[in-house]
Amino acid sequence: MTSRGSELDAPRVAAVYQPVVHLETGETVGYEALARGHAAPTEMLAQARAAGSIAALDWACRDAALAGALGAGLGNSLTLFVNVEPDTPSAIPDRYLARVQEAGSALRIVLEVTERAVLQQPAELLRLVDWARERSWGIALDDIGENPGSLAMMPFLEPDVIKLDLRLVQQRPTAEVGLIMSAVLAQAERTGAAIVAEGVEDERMREAALALGATLGQGWMYGRPQPLPAELPVVDSVVRLHRSWPQHDDPTPFTLVRSALPVRRAGKRQLLSVAAHLEEQAVAWSDGPVVLSTFQDGEVVDASTTDRYSRLADRGSFVAALRNGGALVVGAGVRSVSLPAGHRLGDEWSVVVVGPHYAGALVARQVTSDPQDGYDFVVTHQRNLVVEAGRSLLRHVTPA
């Protein structure tokens, strides 16, 4: 997909590159491209957002990163990390199309997004992951640990690389650091994701990064951002990229789970107790699980559910409630999503709970006019299935 645009729209930026190294051997395994322009990167992004030109700046930064890597002959044994904004439209501007196509065949690319985007823009971020996977590009989650509430979002994105926030190696260990590392190591163990420690400045920090489970690192100890060197090594890549990604025709939680597990029938009173149990499990876990729920048209949320959802949101969990034909007020801090009237989720009732170490879901569909005996349902704790059901709901959660 391409898009047109005036050449005058392209901001002037250049790219510099900071090495990513193997912490045990010191061997360079990749480079992160960093934008340089008329101001600091964060300031340029803020100015572009205020001016409504974030897509133009983002594509200019991507192009500068790819152009520099191609010009230096980076090749596809070293990994190129490219920072991107998830809300940039996936359509490639015409002026950049040839470069993207060349880079796709010549470079080993991992798109890097910040932890902030995980919580603020889940639907946009999933579209970016789709776009990257279609091209066999990787995904890195940056600044993990800056906000512990985002840890439970990692399974929905299945990042190839998890980049630890620099404070984890530069500050003294705490209970919070233990919680973060438990979640990160569990995700890496399940998927084979590489762990990168940022901000490694000396030998003490290198040892701290290794103790935290990182195998790769970057920081001033290994080099500051600068142009790529004239001579680049050829290495065996240690960053494994996922080549598969679930592809479905815009599914719902019920259609996903029904295709994999037996369906039972029950009334609403029975299922309310199951839903309450799953929600209480989320409250009991201290690691900020994600809770995603769909409510049927006209459904009234009782006080106990509102209280549970509010407590979860207060503790930093990502909680979203979806309903057809109007937003639902479930509690302070809960993301309320209004779906179009007649949306296919309107006759489904789902409660999906995913944490770093727990996953469970109730998915149900009303099949008779009497809700007291008219639901087909499945309860599952199969992690991959629960995550996939939750991912289908997250695709509807746009910025608040």
- Give yes or no for residue 66 having a pLDDT over 90: yes
CA distance 393 to 216: 33
Distance of CA 64 to the CA centre of its chain: 24
- Give yes or no for residue 5 having a pLDDT over 50: no
CA distance 219 to 282: 37
Structure tokens at 342: 């007649």
**How is 357-374 classified by DSSP, letter by letter?**
S-EEEEEEEE-SS-TTS-
Q: Kindly compute the dihedral angle of the four CA atoms of residues 243, 248, 149, 184, in this order, to the nearest 10 degrees.
A: -30
pLDDT tens by residue, 358-399: 999 999 998 887 766 689 999 999 999 999 999 999 999 987
pLDDT tens by residue, 263-308: 999 998 899 999 999 988 888 887 788 999 998 776 777 788 888 8
pTM of the model: 0.91
- For the chain, the average pLDDT equals 89
User: What is each CA distance from 127 to 85, 100, 157, 250, 391, in whole angstroms?
Assistant: 12, 18, 10, 12, 11
- Give yes or no for residue 1 having a pLDDT over 60: no
**119: confidence class by pLDDT, cuts 50, 70, 90:** confident
CB distance 31 to 223 below 8 Å: no
Question: CA torsion sign, 100 to 103 to 105 to 111?
Answer: negative
- Segment among 121-135, 196-210, 365-379 with least mean pLDDT: 365-379
> Region 160-174: what's the mean pLDDT?
91
CA-based end-to-end distance of the chain: 27
Distance of CA 283 to the CA centre of its chain: 22
Counting residues of the chain whose pLDDT is more than 70, the rounded percentage is: 94
Distance of CA 138 to the CA centre of its chain: 12
Highest mean pLDDT among 60-69, 148-157, 177-186, 369-378: 60-69
